Structures are given as C-alpha cells and as structure tokens.
Amino acid sequence: MEKLAAVKGMNDIMPPESARWEWFEEKVRDLMGRYAYRNMRTPIIEPTALFVRGLGEVTDIVEKEMYSFDDRLNGEQLTLRPEATAGVVRAVVEHSMLYEGGKRLYYMGPMFRHERPQRGRYRQFHQVGAEALGFSGAEIDAELILLADNLWRSLGLKNVRLEINSLGQPNERKAHREALIAYFEHHVDLLDEDARRRLYSNPLRILDSKNITMKLIVESAPRLIDFLGEESRAHLSKVQNILDANNIVWTLNPRLVRGMDYYNLTVFEFITDQLGSQGTICGGGRYDYLIEQIGGKPAPAVGWALGVERVLELLKEQEQVIPAPAPDAYAVVQIAADLPRVMNILQQLRERGVCVQMHTPANSIDGMGSIKNQFKKADASGACYALIFGSDELLRQCVGVKSLRDSKAAQIEKPLEAIAEWASTLQSNC
C-alpha cells in the first residue's frame, strides 16, 4: 500500500521540536497577560468575502495565495484563513465586543497560504497576534510595539531592528495615489507585468515590489510621508516620542507599506538580517477603517502578527538555548507483578505536582528488563531522580531515591506512608 505523506509545505511538529513551540507559547501567554491582553480563538475557515473585503481584491493574498473552495452542502464560498486580523474583527463585530469599550486581544494559531515553500515560509504556518480595538491614541500603537520588543528580550533574541512609517489617512493616500499613478505612467516601460496590472487598481503596492530591476524607479517614486497632513504627522511623532522615552531604537522607512489594504497611519515591522529574504518576523499597524468595512460601527484598531516559524528559526540561528522538558523522576521497577501498587504510588506523586515517567519495557514478555538498562533509560530521560521500586524497598514500605545528576549523592529511602511530606523535594532540584 502506498505510504501517505503530509501535504507539501504543511509540516508535522514532533517531539522534541514541539517542546520549543510549547516554551515559546508559554512566553507569549505570560507576556500578553502582563500587558492585559486576553486570548481569543476564531475558526480557521471563514467566508471568502471576509478576506476579499478586508484585505483588498488586488492584494497578493487574495489574488494568488488563498485556499478557497465551495461548501458541498450549500455552495457557500469558504477560505482557509490566510491571516487572522480579519477574522478577529469579524468576531468582535458579530459578538458586539466593543459595546462596553475597547478590547485588548491576542491569538495563536495556523494560517494557510498557497505559495512556494521556503525557509521560514510554509503553506501552513503559524502566527501570534495582538490586537487592540476601540482605541484611537498613538500610545496604543506604541504599546503594541513595546509589547513586541519586550517579547524579543524575553526570548533572548538579538539584532532585530524596528522600521516604522505612516500611511496617513484616506484623503492623504488619495493625493499620493494620484501622484504615484502619474509618476509610474511616465515610466510604464520599466514596470513589470505585476506593476502594470496594479498601476490603476493599487499603485501603492508597487512600492512593495521585490523585483530588483525596478528598485531604482521605486526608490525615486513620490513618498507618502510628503503628503501627510498635520494630524497624521502628529500621530507618528507621538509614537516616536514614546519609543524614544523607552529607549526603543527605530528607523523611519518611508517605503514601508505592509501587504494588506486595511492599514492607515502607523505601520511597522521588526526585521532580521539572519533569515535571508524572509527577514520580517513581525509586522503590523493601525487599521481604523476595517471594522466598518466588515460591517461594524466605525471604531479604531491597531495590531501586529508575528511568524512563529520564523521566530523559532531565528532562535536556532542565534543558538539560543531553550530548556528541554524532562520528568522530575523516573520510576525503576524490579518486578512486573508490583506494577499495580507502583502505579498507585506514582499517581499520588503526580497528584502532588511531581512529573514522573514510568519505565515501560518494549516487550512485556521479558518482564521489566534489567535494573542496569532501566537506569540507562532513566538517565537518558533527563530526570533528576530515579525512584527505585525494588522488592526489598516495597517490603519495607519505602522507595529508594537516587540522584541521577549528582554522582556523589548517596541513595536514600523515603517512606511511602509520608508521600505528602517529601513529594515536593523531587521537583526542580537537579
């Protein structure tokens, strides 16, 4: 029978690699809690119209990358989510979450885009995002940037730079758009096919082109920042002042536009030079008009998303040590007939918070295997202690406790009737 494999670009995450993900996710949960952001979970499948309306019809995501299909039962057009912000906004609107005021939310989960798999970029990839909805002040833009910067420090990441820009407001973008069209019309012979197609539908996206042959013409194009009015400039200045007050190093990048149409005012990216062409590990900005676009009452919003695979890849690249999970203790059992009693004891330890791994032989016909082999397995597990359940120990109503990390420490015995008194001594004492 043919051996089945995962879909190309959609990867299994197996132990011990999955432990790195759990460690990372725990760091995220802890940090989000300290900033008072609350977890939110939305479906991985949404109506296709949500992304067409929210992201823009002429974005790469909508035009080329979405996994879309017709529901067989009712013919409804559905899409595996390519990003989460639109779904978060849809849920906030549907459940009237802003009725009582602004909300700080975060999410974690898989996203899907049909593109060529490469390092740090897969067809099923994972994002963590933070969204603050219902707040218009520049301090919230800055808060989200501070949150992301704090995450890099808590993970131990280095050499991540911050670039910021302002996309202004619709009327400012309209004036800039007209100037861009006029400029690119004069250089239409130098535009690639993609740029020509977008010239009149979304000329701002031409500025985000990765085509190196167009680099010079793009760099010489009119800059949106030169079209910003007093309020937009003041908003950006407030963000910059807060970042400066918190010693956050930033660079103004007037060509930074991001990949979705819903952004306005502040946009930003955290970038590394250690992952090749996939250098952006986190990006976001303000999207004050998306809630209304998706059918809700007008309300401001700002947020960011990071690529989990890219962040974990960067941690590897920087040789950041991530603690490997290991049990507190490993149970060495001499005779299989004692297993019912031993397993009852192990349950008592686990109920008191002790992580215990029980030795399980590959072949039960051979009994529990030799004590020597069990100790090898105990050492390889990374456990701090071996719990020795020999016939003599059990007869004396006790268990032998042997340190696996301190060769000079003598083996001791602990009474089984007093588990509650000594169980905690097995935890985190390597």
How many domains does one find in the chain? 2
Confidence bin at 57 (pLDDT 50/70/90) = low
pLDDT digit string (tens) for 276-299? 877 899 999 999 999 999 999 999
Are residues 241 and 123 both part of a single domain? yes
Does residue 200 belong to any structural domain of this protein?
no
Mean per-residue pLDDT over the chain, rounded: 91
Q: CA 361 → CA 145, 334, 343, 377, 392, distances in Å?
A: 51, 12, 15, 10, 21
Q: CA 306 → CA 13, 56, 279, distances in Å?
A: 18, 21, 12
Task: Give the contacts of 378 (CB within 8 A, at least 6 positions apart).
Answer: 330, 332, 359, 386, 404
Task: Give the contacts of 132 (CB within 8 A, at least 6 positions apart).
Answer: 37, 102, 103, 104, 105, 140, 143, 144, 301, 302, 303
Per-residue pLDDT at 365 exceeds 70: no
Strand order in the sheet with 45-47: 45-47, 77-80, 67-70
- CA separation for the pair 329, 331 (Å, rounded): 7
Are residues 369 and 257 both part of a single domain? no
Per-residue pLDDT at 260 exceeds 80: no
Confidence bin at 141 (pLDDT 50/70/90) = very high
Last residue of a domain, one of 267, 287, 317: 317
What percent of the chain clears pLDDT 70, i.e. is strictly above it? 97
The C-alpha torsion from 54 through 57 and 60 to 62, rounded to 10°, is 70
What percent of the chain clears pLDDT 90, i.e. is strictly above it? 67
- CA separation for the pair 308, 281 (Å, rounded): 8
Mean pLDDT of the 158-176 span: 93
In this structure, what CATH number is given to the domain that contains residue 409? 3.40.50.800
Does residue 197 belong to any structural domain of this protein?
no
Do residues 207 and 267 touch, judged by C-beta distance below 8 A? Answer: no
- Torsions phi, psi of 407, nearest 5? -65, -20
Are residues 363 and 303 both part of a single domain? no
pLDDT digit string (tens) for 190-232? 888 888 888 888 887 788 777 888 888 888 899 988 999 999 9
- CA separation for the pair 259, 248 (Å, rounded): 24
Task: Give the contacts of 102 (CB within 8 A, at least 6 positions apart).
Answer: 132, 133, 134, 135
- CA separation for the pair 365, 359 (Å, rounded): 15
Does residue 180 belong to any structural domain of this protein?
no
Does residue 181 belong to any structural domain of this protein?
no
- CA separation for the pair 155, 96 (Å, rounded): 35
Mean pLDDT of the 355-379 span: 85
Q: CA 392 → CA 43, 87, 347, distances in Å?
A: 56, 62, 21
- CA separation for the pair 101, 103 (Å, rounded): 7
**CA quadruple 179, 183, 184, 185: dihedral sign:** positive
- CA separation for the pair 135, 87 (Å, rounded): 19
**Structure tokens given for 65:** 């990358």
Are residues 106 and 255 both part of a single domain? yes
Are residues 293 and 361 both part of a single domain? no
The partner residues of 271 in beta bridges, in order of sequence, read 161, 280
* Residue 6 vs residue 150, higher pLDDT: 150
pLDDT digit string (tens) for 86-124? 999 999 999 999 999 999 999 999 999 988 877 767 899
Mean pLDDT of the 25-51 span: 96
Q: If DSSP codes are grouped into helix, strand and coil, which group holds residue 280?
A: strand
The partner residues of 386 in beta bridges, in order of sequence, read 330, 402
In this structure, what CATH number is given to the domain that contains residue 54? 3.30.930.10
Task: Give the contacts of 111 (CB within 8 A, at least 6 positions apart).
Answer: 81, 82, 83, 84, 124, 125, 126, 127
Last residue of a domain, one of 282, 317, 352: 317
DSSP characters over 209-276: ---GGGHHHHHTSPPGGGG--HHHHHHHHHHHHHHHHTT--EEE-TT---S-TT-EEEEEEEE-SSST
Are residues 152 and 85 both part of a single domain? yes
Per-residue pLDDT at 73 exceeds 70: yes
Mean pLDDT of the 140-155 span: 98
Per-residue pLDDT at 325 exceeds 80: yes
Per-residue pLDDT at 61 exceeds 80: no
Last residue of a domain, one of 296, 317, 338: 317
- Torsions phi, psi of 354, nearest 5? -85, 130
Are residues 107 and 46 both part of a single domain? yes
Does residue 10 belong to any structural domain of this protein?
no
Identify the H or E element spanning 25: helix 17-34
Are residues 337 and 301 both part of a single domain? no
Does residue 96 belong to any structural domain of this protein?
yes
Question: Between 138-155 and 230-245, two packed helices, what is the crossing angle to 10 degrees?
Answer: 30
Are residues 147 and 247 both part of a single domain? yes
What pLDDT, on the 0 to 100 scale, is given for residue 343? 95
Are residues 398 and 299 both part of a single domain? no
Mean pLDDT of the 315-325 span: 89
Tokens 């999955």 sit on residue: 18
Long-range Cβ contact pairs of 187-193 (< 8 A, separation 24 or more): 187/217, 190/214, 190/217, 191/217
Q: If DSSP codes are grouped into helix, strand and coil, which group holds residue 24?
A: helix
Are residues 259 and 399 both part of a single domain? no
Q: Report the residue count for the chain.
A: 430
Residue ranges making up the domain that contains 126: 17-168+228-317
Do residues 32 and 128 touch, judged by C-beta distance below 8 A? Answer: no
The residue among 166, 170, 92, 164 whose CA lies nearest residue 135 is 92
Are residues 250 and 278 both part of a single domain? yes
Does residue 174 belong to any structural domain of this protein?
no
The greatest distance separating any two alpha carbons of the chain, rounded to the nearest whole angstrom, comes to: 93
Does residue 150 belong to any structural domain of this protein?
yes
